[in-house]
Structure 1
Amino acid sequence: MGSIKTKKAIAAHDHEQLPWEMIEEILSHVPPISLVRFRIVCKRWNALFNDNTFINIHKLTFQFILTTKSKIYSVSIDPNIKVRELTLDFPCEESDIKYLVDCNEFLLCYMDKATVVWNPWLKQSRWIKADDASKPSFRIDGIGYVNNNSVRVEERRYKTIRSYWTDHSRWKTQDFASNVWKKLELEPIHGDKSLEDKTDILLTRGGVSLNGNLYWIGFYDKTDPLYHLVNFNFSRERFFNVFCYLPCGIKNSLDALVLRVYKEDRLSLLKQCHVTKTIEIWVTKNKINIENGDDVVWMNFMTFSIPNFPSLVPDEFTDSQTSYFIDDKRLVLCSCDETGHPWIYVVEENKLIRKVQLDDVVDPWPLHCTYFPSLVPVP
């Protein structure tokens, strides 16, 4: 029945010739998962999927992606919390996924000897294999692209970067166009000359992807309150070891410190003290300029303390990091409790206004991340 209605709608369009601006407006309100089927209507409709403005409209709705030993889910909050089971579009058992990272338009599903770049809404995927896959210690740290604002999305030159758990000084990049791995001759740039002889430690595995570049939380000493951002520029293939300092560090390994993208061109930081359970949210005042970390100014966006609020790092041996999103003045978090069950928390005006356990997620300790349904094809 749906197919007949679609054909009638297309036929009506052919006869009546609605203004193109009206067609764009109508399609901009169609959910991404439903919009994909309209690519085949005509070349002009298909071209919308490569239009930067149209793509950005559909990046405004966030979701959480959770994967367990047996299933993978999307969780939307608009305004009700809806859990939907997804189907993997590549040959793999859900239990094979060891780590899940969101990288702009795509998800990185990390496994022992390979990683998959996946767009679940377009049902597209691509395998990334190491040139020496016999070594299980390699990891993909993120995806970026050569930053050229003059090119269209489908013309972006995407790259990935990887390192080794056993040796963080060994890094390689792969250009998606050639599938060739290239060893990086590291000449890191330090914002602070006094730190040039120190070894940088990354707090998280996957980098946060912003405008084609990757950012990690780094530190030189766990007792040092001045944590900083480490940046990798894919255009220059260079690290900036102290891109900027963070407004807060951690005093204990059970403190939570999580970096995320804010408003598409800025960064946000969540910190929770494991003793008081107080949560601070910081955001950068201006959009991030990759060439100058000295311009970064952090502002306190929200601070709240809620009685009996759980720890966002339930166990120092648990590889479960809080996912969160800032929606206007509302904070939405996804985190596991001490038993491994995932919960959604919604905070507004420093008050907890909603708390929901995700009963549909069947296995404990799911991997999870924030993701924006994307119309960008996997390169």
Structure 2
Amino acid sequence: MTTMSNLSRDLVEEIHSRVPITSQRAVRSTCKRWNVLSKDQNYTKHLGPASKEIMLIMIRGCRAHLMSVNLHGVHNHKYLVDTSIKELGKLNQVEIFEVLHCDGLLLCVTKDYSRLVVWNPYSGQNRWIQPKSNNFHTLDRFAIGYDINNNQKVKVLRFYYWSDYVEYEIFDFKSNSWTVLDVTTDWKIHRRGVSLKGNTYFIAHERFKVDQEGEFLRSFDFTRERFGPLHPLPFHSCLDDSVILSTLREEKLAVLFKRCDACDMKIWITTKIDANTVSWSNFLKVDMQLYAERFRSPCRSFLVDEKKIVAVIFDIDRKTWTNYKPFMVGEDGYQGEVDLRDSELWMLMCSYVPSSVKIQ
């Protein structure tokens, strides 16, 4: 007689792939072998639609939703336009303003700026973080990463800019306290960062030479608790341009660039990225001349499918000026709307890859 504990790994993976991420905790409690298998990092990367579709975290009505998107791509030299996004589950926590992702962990900023919460939807673990004073400041920016030399110890970075004053702090989970970093910078981060392999990457510019020097890539190393060296971007940009970072399944970095006074939109993907070197390759170039009205303001975020050479861009809805609508773009200027099934406020926040990483 075959029991659940004797099922082949392939069959167990197939069973898990049909279960929503937010229900995985119940599945893991079925038997000891399934629970042990669920802690294998290589195994969790193939859960749910992660290996077949792109998973992402979106915000609607100050609640986070776990979604999957199939970009379909090209079939017989023609694009399929029935692109759609389906909901896999709601992440029912307090009202949140922003979500950041790092290796399966979510850093959520509450709407009232009173607290942060680090949360793993796959394992169900969470950890609340309190500010030093009554609340965090609306000008605060955050990042999440981990120490690669200390069993992937999770850390949170907070930074604050006010005129010429700059402050950087790290949250220590063991002592449950914030520590000010002894860091002096002559540049400023003004765009949202993304995490990759434990570190966070930002678009930055020199604080007093914005137009002359342009923007560049800067990383924060959570192991050393220091910013890494300056890396050039594959283009020259200024503050008025759209420069947005994204990640590909926690493996590569992508950057979107659209000059404020031009119609071309370009996306690059890293071919190599480490502490000292970043190299880029052209991924997609789209002539937006026929659609300049739709994409004339900086987009909020984007994601790409490297195999199908398409991208989904979240841009402001010109009819409501409140909703963010997703559009798929590809080679030869192809465009198509992505079906969200309703008109409520949506914002793509980040791609998502499930992980068994523990929160200390």
Identity, in percent, stands at 25
TM-score, normalisation: structure 1: 0.77
Mean Cα deviation higher: 342-351 or 29-38: 29-38
Which residue number corresponds to residue 376 of structure 1?
A: 356
Which residue number corresponds to residue 242 of structure 2?
A: 256
Pick closer, same or farther for the CA change 1:213–1:279 going to 2, 3 Å. Answer: same
**Which of 328, 336, 353 does residue 354 from structure 1 map onto?**
336
**Which of 167, 172, 188 does residue 201 from structure 1 map onto?**
188
1:185 is displaced (CA, Å) by 1.4
Which residue number corresponds to residue 303 of structure 2?
A: 324
Letter of the 2:181 counterpart: L
Pick closer, same or farther for the CA change 1:213–1:377 going to 2, 3 Å. Answer: closer
Output the CA distance in 2 between the equivalents of 1:187 and 1:70. 35
The 3-state SS of whatever aligns with 2:234 is: coil
1:50 is displaced (CA, Å) by 1.4
Which residue number corresponds to residue 160 of structure 1?
A: 156
Please tell me whether residue 246 in structure 1 is matched to residue 230 in structure 2. Answer: no
Q: Name structure 1 gaps, 5 residues minimum.
A: 1-10, 189-198
Output the CA distance in 2 between the equivalents of 1:213 and 1:312. 30
1:313 is displaced (CA, Å) by 6.2
The 3-state SS of whatever aligns with 2:183 is: coil
The 3-state SS of whatever aligns with 1:285 is: strand
Pick closer, same or farther for the CA change 1:210–1:32 going to 2, 3 Å. Answer: same
Which residue number corresponds to residue 193 of structure 1?
A: none
Output the CA distance in 2 between the equivalents of 1:284 and 1:377. 25
**Which of 38, 41, 47 does residue 49 from structure 1 map onto?**
38
Which residue number corresponds to residue 325 of structure 2?
A: 343
Which residue number corresponds to residue 7 of structure 1?
A: none
Contact 2:249–2:353 (Cα < 8 Å) also in 1: no
Please tell me whether residue 125 in structure 1 is matched to residue 111 in structure 2. Answer: no
1:140 is displaced (CA, Å) by 4.9
**Which of 74, 81, 84 does residue 81 from structure 1 map onto?**
84
Please tell me whether residue 222 in structure 1 is matched to residue 210 in structure 2. Answer: yes
TM-score, normalisation: structure 2: 0.81
Structure with greater strand share of residues = 2
Question: In the comparison of the two structures, how many residue pairs are matched?
Answer: 335
Pick closer, same or farther for the CA change 1:37–1:224 going to 2, 3 Å. Answer: farther
Contact 1:110–1:139 (Cα < 8 Å) also in 2: no
The 3-state SS of whatever aligns with 1:26 is: helix
Q: Name structure 2 gaps, 5 residues minimum.
A: 73-82
Letter of the 2:99 counterpart: L
Deviant stretches of 4+, over 6 Å: none
Pick closer, same or farther for the CA change 1:357–1:212 going to 2, 3 Å. Answer: same
Pick closer, same or farther for the CA change 1:178–1:55 going to 2, 3 Å. Answer: farther
The 3-state SS of whatever aligns with 1:37 is: helix
Letter of the 2:317 counterpart: D
Which residue number corresponds to residue 104 of structure 1?
A: 103
1:284 is displaced (CA, Å) by 1.6
**Which of 5, 8, 13 does residue 3 from structure 2 map onto?**
13
Which residue number corresponds to residue 114 of structure 1?
A: 115
Which residue number corresponds to residue 172 of structure 1?
A: 169
Pick closer, same or farther for the CA change 1:350–1:114 going to 2, 3 Å. Answer: farther
What per-residue deviation string (whole Å, max 9, x for no partner) do you get for residues 267-300 of structure 1? 11101123333110111222x212x1xx322222
Please tell me whether residue 65 in structure 1 is matched to residue 57 in structure 2. Answer: yes
Pick closer, same or farther for the CA change 1:350–1:128 going to 2, 3 Å. Answer: farther
Which residue number corresponds to residue 279 of structure 1?
A: 265
Output the CA distance in 1 between the equivalents of 2:39 and 2:88. 27
1:76 is displaced (CA, Å) by 2.3
